[in-house]
Amino acid sequence: MAKSKDGRRKVRQDQETARKMSEFVNSIAHLIRAVSVLMDSLRGWF
């Protein structure tokens, strides 16, 4: 049974949403890493 165009569009939207969420989670991970590196370097100063 072939998928309808609406079904394909839904899958494409789901993949786009998953990609955006993945980028968001990666950005948060980079931010947390950057803050922890900053805290480590500041700890050496004080």
Percentages (nearest 5) of helix, strand, coil residues in the chain: 90, 0, 10
Task: Quote the pLDDT of residue 35.
Answer: 97
Take residue 15 and report the two structure tokens written for it. 């993949």
Task: Quote the pLDDT of residue 6.
Answer: 67
Task: Report the sign of the C-alpha dihedral through residues 34, 35, 40, 45, in that order.
Answer: positive
- Rounded to two decimals, the pTM is 0.64
Side-chain-side CA neighbours of residue 32 (13 Å): 6
Take residue 6 and report the two structure tokens written for it. 């609406």
Task: Quote the pLDDT of residue 19.
Answer: 93
Summarised one tens digit per residue, pLDDT across range 1-45 is 555 666 777 778 888 899 999 999 999 999 999 999 999 999 987
